Amino acid sequence: MRPLPPPARILLVGGALAWALYDAAARAWVCDDAFISFRYARNLVRGEGLVFNPGEAVEGYTNFLWTLLTAGGLAAGVEPVRFTLAAGLVAWTGTAGVLLWASRGIGGMLPVAALGWAAFLHGRVFATSGLETALYTLLVTTTLAGAITARSERAWAGVGLLGTLATMTRPDGALIYAVAGLSSMTSMASGSRTRRLLAVALPGLALGVPWVSWKLVFYGDLLPNTWYAKGAVGARWGAGLAYLGGFAGAYWPLLAAIPLGLRAARGAERDLTPGWWSLRAPLVLTAALAPTLVYIAKVGGDFMFARFLVPLTPAALLLVALGLRLTAQGPQAALGLALFAALLSRATPASVRSTPEHPSGVDGVVEERDWYPPEAHREAMRQGARLRWMLADTDATLVYYGAQAMLMYYADAPRAIEGHVGLTDHEIARMPPPEGARTGHGRKTTVPYLRSRGVDLCPDFRVQQPKAVFERVDFGEGVTARLYTWDPALAATLRARGADIVDLPSWIDGWVRTLDSRDPAEVQRTLETLDGVYFGRNPDPERRARIAGWLAQQGVAPR
């Protein structure tokens, strides 16, 4: 095969990257979890602090830097969804640029890593989403590239800054930062090892130490609340290995990084000088990949297919490129294009697609984008606007579950509690998860517990809730909720604004008059529900005694 002339290479690579960027933008979506960070950002801009609920200091996010950037966008008047989608696409493009830059040092007929990145479907999927994935990927890739090529103390300081920013974007970035620090000790560049290590460490000391100190003072904990909510359950090797295996099965062409990485190590110059041709490059990339993969396996992976592995994919592609450079130009180009085509043909495996038989995928791993089509986001905005008007100037507490964080954001709920795992709640997060719960999920709470926490309402948005007739609240315009606890002042406010909410004392009086026509077991069940919804917060011994007395006459003792 004759080498491609430069114009043809530019056309091929430029066309591939332009198409990939267009495809990433066309697939733009926003994940429900992103709205948790959006609410933190909005409260920060409002002067409430970096909190989900004003007055409650809980670190319910794991993307500090991303949340700060979102707050900056809000302060500048840019709505969070627009800001994060644009920032994600910029970060995806930045990663492509780093891989193109690396290809100049690696050499070869084609920039294999950049082409592979263009072909990688889930890199394009998570280029948007509203999450920090694209930014984190850029920071990880740039940190590793810097650790491979840094020669001066100033360059090492830049590597340290990137590693610090990666850690502040996602806590597992500390692994990448540690690899960068160790690589500075093994570099054969000029200058002392101590000075290089200090250069890498300085940004962490200047930025990381104040950040961690602030966390300890403001939140009272080093680890984010989400760690207790999702991760503090011990090792979950089975789920984690299944997560890695699912990705490997879908993206088996990336497994070429293993033999090609070994080939790159064997064929590299036998020293650790900075650059892509020494042993340093494959060692740094492998040192980053190996412990991070072990960490992902240990924590049980993630419920979002591929998300944890997107930031590692550029490193794997660089290992492939390093191995292929040892091949002759013609076969190298053929193999590179074959890898590009193989990655391009990859699609989301059927096992993580939601079906009626497996609404949560297989093994709890799902294609998250499927859950949030544009119409779901639009409906959250519509219902949220209605709730925001209804709940304005009240002290209502709402509980929300999966797929409802976007509603909480648009409703601007006065107070909201995440009721599944307690992402934004200190107490729930530290409860043990139910046996056999899927990674990062598994409801920890009960309705009685949430009532004890003062929850008033649970919206019906994307959640099917059985409810008694007196528990149904209709806000109008198709917006409904389940009444968890009846509060007379809140009920009066909502009714004045047009909501259909029962006057529970009057309803009880009317219902009591019909007891003689009812089955005692039914009455007993209704009393149990009323104990939670009404009598628990509203002491009303006379009304309750009338019901309990009737049950006693029937020979049934109230529970």
The span from the CA of 208 to the CA of 202, in Å, is: 9
Say what the pLDDT of residue 336 is. Answer: 77
Question: Do the beta carbons of residue 37 and residue 70 sit within 8 Å?
Answer: yes
Q: What is the pLDDT of residue 432?
A: 81
- DSSP string for residues in 489-546: HHHHHHHHTT-B---HHHHHHHHHTTGGGS-HHHHHHHHHHHIIIIITTS--HHHHHH
Q: Which amino acid is at 54?
A: P
Q: Tell me which residue of 118, 110, 162 sits closest to 141, measured CA to CA.
A: 162
Q: What are the residue ranges spanned by the domains of the chain?
A: 6-352, 374-488, 506-553
Please measure the distance between the N-terminal and C-terminal CA atoms of the chain and give it in whole angstroms. Answer: 83
Q: Show pLDDT as tens, one digit a residue, over the chain (559 residues).
A: 455 567 777 888 899 999 999 999 999 999 999 999 999 999 999 999 999 999 999 999 999 999 999 999 999 999 999 999 999 999 999 999 999 999 999 987 788 899 999 999 999 999 999 999 999 999 999 999 999 999 999 999 999 999 999 999 999 999 999 999 999 888 665 568 888 899 999 999 999 999 999 999 999 999 999 888 876 566 788 889 999 999 999 999 999 889 888 988 887 777 788 899 889 999 999 999 999 999 999 988 998 999 999 999 999 999 999 988 877 666 766 777 787 778 777 777 766 665 555 556 666 788 899 999 999 999 999 999 999 999 999 999 999 998 999 999 999 999 999 998 899 999 998 888 776 655 556 667 888 899 999 999 999 999 888 899 999 999 999 999 999 999 999 999 999 999 999 999 999 999 999 999 999 999 999 999 999 999 999 999 999 999 999 999 988 876 6
Helix H or strand E encompassing 164: helix 153-169
pLDDT score for 233: 62
Residue found by looking up tokens 């294009």 in the block: 337
What is the structure's pLDDT at 1? 44
Rounded CA separation 37/420 (Å): 17
Q: What was the pLDDT predicted at 349? A: 73
User: What is the per-residue pLDDT for 535?
Assistant: 95
CB 49 within 8 A of CB 57: yes
Going from the C-alpha of 234 to that of each of 299, 404, 430, 466, the distances in angstroms are 7, 28, 13, 34
Cα–Cα dist 84/63, whole Å = 13
The CA distance from 230 to 218, in Å, is 21
Please list, in sequence order, all residues whose beta carbon lies within 8 angstroms of the beta carbon of residue 346, skipping any fewer than 6 positions away: 119, 120, 121, 250, 251, 253
> Can you say how many angstroms the Cα of residue 158 is from the centroid of all Cα atoms in its chain?
27
- The model's pTM is 0.93
**Residue 221 is which amino acid?**
D
How many Cα neighbours within 13 Å face the side chain of 179?
Answer: 30
- φ and ψ at residue 484, rounded to 5 degrees: -85, -40
Measure the CA–CA gap between 38 and 253, rounded to whole angstroms: 36
Distance of alpha carbon 245 from alpha carbon 437, whole angstroms:
19
